[in-house]
């Protein structure tokens, strides 16, 4: 035994600590369970290390334990995905303590959560840089596994990790708990324990967190992980610790900047890397005194490719081209030396260009997809920018490849380069480029500017490939055909060119001999792959003759159809709604020539000759599913059912994708059928209203009979049960179909199901345990609006309120979740207010509180700043609730809902506009919305008041109608819509509140107009029918209908004096013996008031010209122009003429006669003698009234009549009291007699 292995007490050391590390590492490579590995580790820690520490010697160990043993255990846990266990192990063996307690040590052996002590402040095991790399790598892998798809399931963050994260400063917290834990671990390591590799692993955690919590699909996170800021902080930490990064670490930084969409940071780092090499002060890693200096490495080709791709994804095409030029110059000094990173830049750099082109293609494909919720739609010319950048890069490659010398870098484009450019090219991007060419300041590719048609651009690219000798493969022609997907003629031309391309056909034949070794997947089929692209173009346009031409070309090329080709043919026939031909195709696939003859006779499609004998019969599920979907799109349920039965006979069942497509088609048919049923119900209601003489209410419920739509919606519900984990894109149309068919409870069940999934999704995203996109939260705002629209359409207030309850409950859960993430759960002052359901509040007459917080029901927590539309009820949703209540006749619901829409109306007040704020307060205005935007917002919500007032009118609630008008004016600062004012006037006139009508009209008209269309109907096309004229006309109509003629005359006079209504009197220079009244364009009520007011005014003017003692002599006839009825409902059936004649006969005494004017059927003549007789009668009535008033005044002045009246009234009162007392006595006696009996 060596003397060095003898302990202080004389005992002999037997083992080296490394033996335990080797044993753990070897055991982890076997199939041993984790418990066995943990038992060996616990023996090493508790029975060997701790025991030696208590005896103040190494025990049986030759030396103290090192980081090797710890790293072996951590690596074993990493292989098994035990993040929490690894963090616990590390913390236990590195925890600092000041004394050793044997009892604590003994407890720690059995307690996994106990903290093992150390002595004299020295840790039992001290980690190294490899330890940090393992821990950071585990955290990084856990984020990558969250992003889904397979892989092991990692544990959720343990409580101590969350506590450690919460102790960090609130501003430094990230929604990714792995990053928070990594930063806590970084603080636990000393600078001497770290190196570049450990920091590279840490930056990988940041990269994964940036990708997971900052991509376009992850719109549910309440906060974003600022990966750029975190990366820069790590780089500053490395500089502080004087640990220089290598090129791999810098590449990780650039990748993080790219995923954080910060191209400026990537370019800045690249420039710093170049400057660090050329700077004399930082060109070496060690200075003269031997002190370690910090420096950045020289960028290599991979670094340049990452930065160029980042610029291309951010639409910085010019910067990408500049960097490409900069990279090619690296072949000159000072980059020729050995510091050029093994010469990666020098040599073939085509892959760098291809990486930039691929970035353009990825960005273009993301623009083609539907925009995620919470994201604004990209600018129209963004796709054009991607296309222009791609063609500029291709042009640079072609130019540099043509001028390169023998020793230069090869940058000539290859097949991948051209294929990528063709994948970016499509109709929308090409149109955007052509639109931007009008702006001289915008750059554009010469190839794009040279051609006016997209097919010419595609042919130019193919010609360039052929001229340069670049091979064309199946992907080339496939992308070329899809670029011309809008026209089948261009697709056929490209297909012909591919078949005539000898190099391509030779490549296909050689590939077939090698069993598809050159291309993988669908592209390995060669000619058929290209032909399927042409068939897809024919299917999109429904060009069946183009499909026939493709089959003829395949037959000439001796190529056979596959299942994808048959699907495209079926979709083409479905596009032209020929379901019989689809059945013929399915029969033909079984080898029956009779069906093939039918297809040849109709469309010259020969399927059997283009199928290989081995593939007959071709009975595949995807073909039958495509046939069913095509038939359902044209409501051919019989044919679809026949195909489904054929599938069952052949032992086929629709797969999940096909089942989803079938369910979607059933939902579409249910909603379309519901529209037709609703139209029939509306027509029946109108006919019933006409038959009853208009006695039915004008806003009564339309109750359609749901038969076909309900059957199809139920079929979709049944099929939905067979779908495994249905996505929200499928649940949403099923809920809409149920709602359209009157299946309210089923729709609510699906909505609640989606709400539960959204809450679970949000909580998982908050903890970072499960990744994936926020599909449910993205679909819910649109679904909420659609369901409320269905309720408003039929006036179904009960399901509308039930939906509102569920929506508000979801919003409250989101707010509570946001507060918990912000650490406000323990604050008693911030509690979720007691939420009374809308159905109970509005239907059970619970009073609406006077002061409603504007954010209680409209704010969806922190998500409202992230999502495009908040989750809770918005102003449009409250408007739909009002419409549903109005059509259902629930005036109390309308009354209770108006306060909830108040905050949204107040937001549209003109005083909040940018123009108003700029005129009053400088520097505040630009942050406010413009007046035009507020006007559009107000127009979308203004119908809510109209719906409420219409309901008040029907229910006779005239007082609430006046109150609603006044409140709306106060909230919005604008004129109410003319329909709302007219409805309120009708409600007041029905209760004979004529003066209130005058007051309301005067108040509304005096409000200044904010915009030209303020208060007018959007569908109004007559320019001279102003808001004021509409209000005056409707108000006069309401007063006239209720018999309030005097108030109607006052309104007409006020409208004429203000210049809003036409004056009926027409001054004639030639014929002064007649008084002309022109009533053209007036309603019957306005014409009635115009005649009365005009006659009275003319009579007053005549009386003012004569003395009071003289009698008024009327010697003029009155000609009233009513029109011939050309603009009446029935042509040449005038409305005004009979109405005016009725008025002159019935409302004037003695009646005024009227005669027709010969040769003029659009006017009537009232004789002057009739007018004079009416005036004479008016004077007589006036004299009699004056004599009666004088007699009354004379009696009152003498006192006789007053004394008699008081005496007689006293006798009457006394007699009345006596009769009342006698009657009460009689009644009491009769009741007592009844009780005795």
The pLDDT tens digits for 1177-1226 are 877 776 665 666 566 556 555 555 555 555 555 566 566 667 767 777 77
DSSP-assigned letters across all residues of 741-781: TT-HHHHHHHHHHHHHHHHHHHHHHHHTSS----HHHHHHH
Candidate from 520-529, 643-652, 962-971 with smallest mean pLDDT = 520-529
Q: What is the 3-state secondary structure (H, E, C) of 625-689?
A: HHHHHHHHCCCCHHHHHHHHHHHHHCCCCCCHHHHHHHHHHHHHHHHHHHHHHHHHHHHHHHHHH
Per DSSP, the three-state class of 6 is strand
Exposure pattern of 282-297 as b/e (b: 16+ CB <10 Å)? beeeeeeeeeeeebbb
Using an 8 Å Cβ cutoff, are 547 and 535 in contact?
Answer: yes
Measured distance CA(113)–CA(527) in Å, rounded: 65
Mean pLDDT taken over the chain: 77
Give the pLDDT band (50/70/90) at residue 370: very low
The full length of the chain comes to: 1237
Backbone angles phi, psi at 30, to 5 degrees: -95, -175
Q: Tens digits of per-residue pLDDT, 808-866? A: 999 888 888 777 766 554 444 444 444 445 455 455 444 544 444 443 333 333 333 33
Place of tokens 């992907």: 475
Q: Tens digits of per-residue pLDDT, 279-335? A: 544 444 444 444 567 888 888 888 888 888 888 777 777 787 778 777 766 643 333
The mean pLDDT of 983-1008, rounded to a whole number, is 93
Place of tokens 């109108």: 686
What is residue 382's predicted lDDT score, i.e. its pLDDT? 57
Q: Tens digits of per-residue pLDDT, 469-525? A: 999 999 999 999 999 988 899 999 999 999 999 888 888 887 665 554 456 667 777
Class of residue 1047 by CB neighbours under 10 A (exposed 0-12, middle 13-18, buried 19+) = buried
Candidate from 554-558, 746-750, 844-848 with smallest mean pLDDT = 844-848
Alpha helices in 692-723 (DSSP H): 708-720
Measured distance CA(630)–CA(639) in Å, rounded: 10
> What whole-number percentage of the chain has pLDDT above 70?
71
* Whether pLDDT at 615 is above 60: yes
Measured distance CA(89)–CA(103) in Å, rounded: 20
Query: Using a CB cutoff of 8 Å and minimum separation of 24, what contacts does 399-407 make?
Result: 400/328, 401/468, 407/331
Q: What is the pTM of this model?
A: 0.69
Measured distance CA(476)–CA(462) in Å, rounded: 9
What is residue 684's predicted lDDT score, i.e. its pLDDT? 84
H helix count then E strand count, the chain? 52, 5
Using an 8 Å Cβ cutoff, are 42 and 73 in contact?
Answer: no
Candidate from 647-656, 960-969, 1031-1040 with smallest mean pLDDT = 647-656
Exposure pattern of 934-969 as b/e (b: 16+ CB <10 Å)? bbebbbebbbbbbbbbbbbbbbebbebbbebbeebb
Class of residue 394 by CB neighbours under 10 A (exposed 0-12, middle 13-18, buried 19+) = buried
Give the pLDDT band (50/70/90) at residue 1022: very low
Two structure tokens written together for 901: 């829409």
Two structure tokens written together for 613: 């004998």
Per DSSP, the three-state class of 299 is coil
What is residue 108's predicted lDDT score, i.e. its pLDDT? 40
The mean pLDDT of 983-993, rounded to a whole number, is 94
Measured distance CA(298)–CA(302) in Å, rounded: 11
Using an 8 Å Cβ cutoff, are 492 and 535 in contact?
Answer: no
The mean pLDDT of 141-155, rounded to a whole number, is 50
CA-nearest of 804, 774, 810, 773 to 787 is 804
């Amino acid at each position: 035994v060596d003397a060095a292995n003898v302990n202080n007490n004389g005992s002999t050391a037997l083992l080296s600590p490394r033996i335990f590390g080797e044993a753990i590492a070897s055991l982890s490579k076997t199939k041993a369970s984790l418990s066995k590995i943990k038992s060996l580790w616990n023996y090493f820690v508790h029975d060997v290390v701790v025991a030696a520490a208590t005896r103040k010697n190494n025990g049986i160990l030759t030396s103290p334990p090192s980081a090797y043993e710890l790293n072996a255990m951590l690596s074993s846990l990493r292989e098994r995905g035990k993040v929490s266990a690894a963090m616990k192990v590390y913390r236990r063996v590195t925890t600092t303590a000041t004394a050793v307690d044997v009892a604590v040590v003994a407890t720690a052996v059995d307690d996994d959560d106990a903290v093992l002590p150390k002595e004299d402040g020295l840790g039992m095991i001290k980690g190294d840089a490899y330890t940090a790399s393992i821990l950071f790598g585990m955290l990084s892998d856990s984020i990558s596994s969250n992003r889904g798809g397979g892989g092991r399931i990692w544990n959720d963050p343990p409580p101590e990790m969350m506590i450690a994260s919460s102790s960090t400063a609130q501003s430094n917290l990230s929604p990714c708990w792995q990053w928070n834990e990594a930063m806590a671990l970084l603080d636990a390591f000393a600078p001497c324990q770290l190196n570049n590799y450990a920091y590279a692993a840490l930056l990988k955690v940041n990269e994964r967190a940036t990708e997971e919590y900052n991509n376009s699909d992850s719109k549910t996170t309440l906060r974003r992980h600022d990966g750029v800021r975190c990366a820069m902080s790590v780089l500053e930490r490395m500089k502080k610790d004087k640990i220089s990064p290598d090129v791999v670490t810098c590449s990780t930084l650039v990748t993080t900047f790219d995923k954080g969409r910060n191209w400026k940071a990537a370019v800045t780092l690249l420039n710093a890397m170049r400057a660090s090499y050329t700077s004399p002060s930082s060109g070496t890693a060690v200075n003269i005194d031997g002190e370690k200096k910090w420096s950045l490495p020289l960028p290599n080709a991979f670094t340049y490719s990452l930065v160029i791709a980042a610029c291309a994804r951010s639409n910085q095409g010019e910067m990408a081209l500049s960097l490409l030029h900069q990279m090619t110059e690296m072949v000159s000094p000072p980059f020729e030396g050995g510091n050029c990173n093994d010469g990666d830049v020098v040599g073939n750099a085509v892959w760098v260009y291809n990486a930039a082109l691929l970035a353009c293609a990825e960005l273009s494909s993301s623009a083609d997809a539907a925009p995620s919720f919470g994201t604004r739609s990209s600018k129209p010319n963004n796709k054009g920018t991607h296309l222009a950048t791609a063609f500029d890069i291709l042009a640079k490659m072609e130019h540099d490849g043509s001028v390169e010398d023998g020793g230069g870098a090869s940058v000539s484009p290859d097949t991948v380069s051209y294929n990528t450019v063709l994948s970016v090219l499509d109709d929308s991007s090409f149109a955007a480029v052509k639109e931007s060419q009008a702006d001289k300041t915008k750059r554009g590719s010469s190839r794009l500017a040279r051609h006016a048609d997209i097919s010419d651009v595609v042919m130019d690219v193919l010609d360039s490939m052929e001229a340069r000798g670049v091979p064309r493969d199946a992907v080339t022609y496939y992308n070329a055909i899809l670029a011309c997907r809008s026209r089948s003629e261009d697709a056929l031309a490209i297909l012909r060119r591919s078949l005539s391309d000898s190099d391509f056909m030779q490549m296909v034949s050689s590939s077939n001999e090698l069993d598809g070794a050159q291309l993988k997947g669908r592209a390995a089929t060669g000619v058929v792959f290209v032909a399927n692209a042409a068939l897809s173009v024919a299917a999109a346009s429904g060009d069946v003759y183009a499909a026939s031409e493709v089959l003829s070309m395949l037959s000439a090329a001796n190529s056979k159809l596959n299942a994808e080709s048959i699907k495209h043919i079926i979709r083409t026939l479905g596009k032209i709604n020929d379901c019989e031909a689809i059945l013929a195709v399915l029969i033909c696939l079984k080898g029956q020539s009779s069906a093939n003859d039918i297809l040849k006779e109709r469309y010259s499609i020969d399927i059997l000759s283009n199928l290989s004998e081995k593939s007959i019969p071709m009975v595949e599920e995807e073909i039958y599913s495509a046939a069913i979907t095509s038939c359902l799109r044209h409501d051919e349920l019989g044919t679809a059912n026949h195909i489904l039965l054929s599938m069952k006979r052949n032992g086929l069942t629709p797969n999940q994708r096909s089942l989803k497509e079938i369910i979607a088609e059933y939902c579409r048919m249910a909603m379309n059928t519901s529209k037709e049923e609703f139209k029939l119900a509306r027509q029946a209601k109108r006919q019933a209203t006409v038959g009853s003489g208009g006695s039915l209410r004008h806003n009564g419920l339309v109750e359609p009979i749901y038969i076909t739509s309900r059957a199809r919606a139920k079929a979709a519900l049944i099929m939905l049960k067979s779908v495994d984990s249905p996505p929200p894109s499928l649940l949403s149309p099923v809920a809409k179909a149920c709602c359209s068919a009157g299946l309210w409870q089923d729709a609510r069940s699906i909505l609640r199901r989606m709400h539960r999934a959204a809450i679970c999704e949000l909580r998982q995203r908050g903890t970072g345990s499960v990744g994936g996109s926020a599909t449910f939260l993205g679909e819910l705002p649109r679904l909420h609006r659609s369901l409320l629209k269905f309720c408003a359409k039929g006036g179904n207030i009960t399901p509308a309120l039930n939906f509102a309850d569920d929506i508000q409950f979801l919003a409250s859960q989101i707010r509570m979740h946001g507060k918990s993430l912000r650490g406000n759960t323990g604050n008693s002052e911030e509690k979720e207010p007691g939420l009374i359901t809308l159905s109970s509040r509005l239907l059970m007459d619970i009073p609406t509180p006077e002061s409603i917080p504007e954010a209680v029901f409209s704010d969806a927590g922190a998500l409202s700043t992230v999502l495009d539309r908040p989750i809770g009820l918005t102003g449009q949703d409250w408007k739909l609730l009002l419409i549903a209540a109005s059509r259902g006749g629930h005036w109390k619901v309308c009354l209770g809902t108006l306060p909830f829409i108040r905050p949204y109306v107040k937001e549209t007040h003109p005083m909040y506009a940018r123009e108003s704020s700029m005129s009053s307060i400088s520097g505040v205005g630009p942050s406010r919305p413009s007046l035009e935007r507020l006007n559009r917002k107000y127009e979308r919500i203004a119908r809510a008041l109209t719906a409420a007032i219409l309901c008040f009118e029907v229910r006779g609630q005239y007082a609430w109608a006046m109150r609603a008008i006044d409140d709306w004016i106060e909230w919005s600062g604008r004129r109410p819509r003319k329909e709302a004012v007219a409805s309120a006037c009708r409600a007041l006139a029905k209760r004979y509140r004529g003066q209130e009508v005058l007051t309301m009209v005067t108040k509304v008209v005096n409000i200044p107009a904010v915009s030209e269309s303020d208060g007018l109907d959007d569908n109004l096309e007559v320019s001279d029918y102003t808001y004021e004229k509409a209000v005056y006309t409707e108000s006069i109509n309401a007063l006239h209908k209720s018999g309030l003629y005097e108030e109607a005359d006052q309104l007409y006079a006020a409208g004429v004096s203000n210049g809003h209504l036409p004056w009926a009197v027409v001054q004639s220079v030639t014929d002064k013996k007649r008084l002309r009244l022109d009533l053209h364009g007036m309603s019957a009520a306005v014409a009635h008031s115009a005649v009365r007011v005009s006659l009275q005014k003319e009579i007053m003017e005549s009386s003012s010209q004569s003395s009071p003692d003289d009698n008024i002599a009327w010697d003029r006839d009155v000609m009233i122009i009513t029109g011939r009825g050309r603009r009446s409902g029935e042509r040449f059936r005038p409305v005004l003429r009979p109405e005016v004649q009725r008025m002159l006969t019935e409302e004037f005494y003695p009646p005024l006669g009227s005669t027709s004017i010969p040769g003029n059927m659009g006017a009537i003549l009232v004789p002057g003698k009739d007018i004079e007789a009416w005036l004479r009668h008016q004077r007589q009535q006036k004299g009699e009234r004056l004599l009666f008033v004088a007699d009354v005044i004379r009696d009152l002045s003498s006192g006789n009549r007053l004394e008699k009246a008081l005496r007689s009234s006293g006798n009457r009162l006394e007699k009345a009291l006596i009769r009342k007392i006698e009657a009460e006595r009689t009644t009491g006696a009769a009741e007592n007699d009844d009780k005795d009996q």
